[in-house]
Structure 1
C-alpha cells in the first residue's frame, strides 16, 4: 500500500469547513490502496473548535504532531477580541476599522509572509525529513491555506527530488478576496506573487477546488492541475423534520464583506407586500456573524424575524441544513470571489432543499446549482428577480410542495472525490 503524508494545519478539534476536506479524504483513501499519514500542529490556535469531529478521525490513522509558534497568541495580549476576529476572517469595512485592527492587518500582511504560520516551516521540514527517511514516504501533500504549508513542501521537494509533491489549494492565494485588505506594501505584494509562482512551478501536481482557480493557475503554470472540489459524506447521519416556519437559513460564517443588502431589502418589502409572509417567515443565521451584518438586518426592519444561532458543531449544522425550508449561500460581490465555492454548498446538495445563492456574476457556484438542478443563483443587481424567486418559494411552501430533486450529485460524494484524488497520488 502506498503511503501519502498529508501536511495540514486544520485538523480536529478544529472547526469549520477547512478541516473536513482532508479528514474525509483520510477516511476513504485506504479503500483505494493508499495509507494516509497526517502531520499537524501540536498546539495550534484554532479560531473555532468542534470536538465532535474527533469522533470522525479514522481508527488506526497515524497522526504526527509538531509544536508551532502562533503569533496570534501574542496579539491577544493587545486585544483578544480583535485577534479572534481576524483569525476567523472577520474583517470590518475600512471606515469601521479601529486603529488597532488597521495596525494588526498591516503587520499580518507585511511581516508574516505568506501568513502567520510561517514559523512552522523550518521545524516541520526538519521533522518530516526524518519521517521520509524512516517510513519510506513517497508522496507528500500540502494543503493551504495557510499557504505557508506549501513552503514546507517546496523545501522537501528540493531535498528529496524523487518525492511526489501535491499542492492542494482549498482557496486561491494572491487572488483571494481578503488579500487586498491586508494593507500590503508594493514589495510585500510582489513577494506573495513570487512565492505563489515558485510553488505552482515546483509542485508535481496541483489540486484546486473551483473552475475559476483552475483557469487562473493554468495561466501561471504548465504543471498538471486537477479540479477536485469539496463534497458531502453520504455516511453522515441526519434525521430531522422540516421546519414549520418558512425558514431561510444561512449555515456558516458571515463576514462584513458578505452583506447582501438586496436580500434584506427584498425580505423587508415582501413582509409589507405579501399577505401571510410575516406570519411564517424566519431568517436563521447559524455561525459567526459580523456586527455590521446584524446592524444591516436590523435597519431593514427584520430584527423580530432574525434567529441568531451562533457557531454550532458539524452535526448540528447538518441538522439545520436538512430542516430548513430554503438554504442561503452568500458570497462577496467581486471578480476575485467568482472561484470561491463554499464547502457547505455540497452538503446543501444532499438535503433536497432549494438553494438560494447570491453572489458575483459568472460565479462557479452557478454552474454546480444549474447542473444539479438544486436551486437558483442571483447576482447583486437583481433585487426584483430575487423577490420573485423568494415569493415563488413561499407559495410552494404554503402548498406543501417546496423541495428539489437533485440531479447527478453522486460525483460530489466524498468517496467519488477520493477516488479522483487516489488517481493523482498513484499516477
Structure 2
C-alpha cells in the first residue's frame, strides 16, 4: 500500500513513527524502492535495545531485532529520538553509523495560556501521577511504597493514578490493598483532558524509569502544569530529572531501595508543606511552552524535513 501511494503521489518526504517498529520497517522498504525519497525515522523508544522490557522473544529474535534496528539507523536520512540518553545508546551500540541523530523532546498537550484556579479547597492534599506502568521499567510498587510511608507523616494525602493499567500490572497492586481509601485509579485519559486533570492536583508525582534512555511521555505536560513536582528516581541517570533540570518547584527523591529512608520522607514532608498552593508564574510557563508546545515541536520537525530540499 505504501509503495502504491508513493507511486501515485510522489511524496517528497516520508515520516515513520515507532513504536510499533513495523512503521520503520515499512519506511526502510520504501526507501529501498525510492532512494530519492527523504526518510525521517521518529523513534519514541528503541526497539531492539530494551533488556528490561523486551518486546518479543529474545531467545529467538534478539540478533534479528538488532540487525533490523541498525538497518533503519543506517538507511534513514534522519533519525529523531526524545532524549540524549537514547542518542548515546544508539551511538554506543551501533558505532560508525553514517546518519545524524536529532533530539526533539516529547510534545505537550495543548495547554491554556493561563491556568484555572485549580481544585476547590478540601482537607485533603491531592497528588497526581500521570503515566502507565511497564514490567521491568516502571512498576507501581516503589511509588505506592513511598506513598504508604509518607501517609504516616501526612495522613491527609490522596494519590490519583492516571494512565492505562495493563493486566500484567494489576496483580502487583494486591500488596497495597490497605491504600484503597487513599489511592484512586482513574484510567487512561484522552490527551485533551490531561491539562484539566493536572490542574486539579496540588502536587504532581513522577516515577522515573529504570532505563537511562527512555523519557516518560507526559514529561512535557509535567513542565507546563506549573505545579510542584516530586520525582521518584530509580537510577542515578534519570532522564526525567535531566529533562526538568532548572524547574524551581522540583524535588528529587531516590527510591533505589524498597522502602524510602526516614530522611527522604522528612524531605518530602517539608517540600509538601512549603510548596502547597504554589505554581510557576504564567510567564515562566509561556517560556516552556515556546519549546514544548505542539507548534514548537512541529517547527523542529519541519526544519528537518526542509533540510531534504536543501540537499
Structure 2: unaligned runs, 5 residues or longer = none
> Is structure 2 residue 310 aligned with structure 1 residue 420?
no
Quote the Cα distance in structure 2 between the aligned partners of 1:256 and 1:217: 23
Quote the Cα distance in structure 2 between the aligned partners of 1:198 and 1:158: 11
User: CA separation of 1:141/1:262 partners in 2, compared to 1, >3 Å: closer, same or farther?
Assistant: closer
Quote the Cα distance in structure 1 between the aligned partners of 2:297 and 2:268: 33
> Is structure 2 residue 144 aligned with structure 1 residue 264?
yes
User: CA separation of 1:332/1:351 partners in 2, compared to 1, >3 Å: closer, same or farther?
Assistant: closer
Select which of 59, 66, 72 maps to 1:199.
72
Select which of 191, 194, 197 maps to 1:314.
191
Select which of 250, 265, 280 maps to 1:387.
265
Select which of 21, 34, 37 maps to 1:160.
34
Relative to the length of structure 2, the TM-score reads 0.83
Larger RCO of the pair (alpha carbons < 8 Å, separation 6+): 2
Q: Alignment length, in residue pairs?
A: 289
Quote the Cα distance in structure 1 between the aligned partners of 2:278 and 2:297: 30
Quote the Cα distance in structure 2 between the aligned partners of 1:179 and 1:270: 29
Structure 1: unaligned runs, 5 residues or longer = 1-126
Task: Report what 1:302 is aligned to.
Answer: 179
Quote the Cα distance in structure 2 between the aligned partners of 1:327 and 1:184: 36
Q: Is the 8 A contact 2:109 2:194 kept in 1?
A: no
Q: Is the 8 A contact 2:110 2:192 kept in 1?
A: no
3-state SS in 2 of match to 1:372 = coil
More helix by share: 1
Deviations 1:366-402 (A, max 9, x none): 11222333413333237235413320233125xx543
User: CA separation of 1:389/1:263 partners in 2, compared to 1, >3 Å: closer, same or farther?
Assistant: farther
Task: Report what 1:287 is aligned to.
Answer: 163
3-state SS in 2 of match to 1:157 = helix
Quote the Cα distance in structure 2 between the aligned partners of 1:128 and 1:177: 32
- Post-superposition offset of 1:262: 4.4
> Is structure 2 residue 213 aligned with structure 1 residue 339?
yes
Q: Is the 8 A contact 1:349 1:374 kept in 2?
A: no
> Is structure 2 residue 241 aligned with structure 1 residue 366?
yes
- Post-superposition offset of 1:162: 0.7
Q: CA RMSD in A?
A: 2.5
> Is structure 2 residue 99 aligned with structure 1 residue 223?
yes
Relative to the length of structure 1, the TM-score reads 0.62
- Post-superposition offset of 1:312: 2.8
Deviates more, 1:400-409 or 1:243-252: 400-409
> Is structure 2 residue 126 aligned with structure 1 residue 247?
yes
3-state SS in 2 of match to 1:370 = coil
Quote the Cα distance in structure 2 between the aligned partners of 1:177 and 1:313: 30
Deviations 1:242-296 (A, max 9, x none): 3532111112323454235444334333333x3xx21x21011122333234223
> Is structure 2 residue 66 aligned with structure 1 residue 188?
no
Task: Report what 2:11 is aligned to.
Answer: 137
User: CA separation of 1:288/1:213 partners in 2, compared to 1, >3 Å: closer, same or farther?
Assistant: same
User: CA separation of 1:201/1:210 partners in 2, compared to 1, >3 Å: closer, same or farther?
Assistant: same
Task: Report what 1:232 is aligned to.
Answer: 108
User: CA separation of 1:183/1:151 partners in 2, compared to 1, >3 Å: closer, same or farther?
Assistant: closer
Q: Is the 8 A contact 1:210 1:229 kept in 2?
A: yes
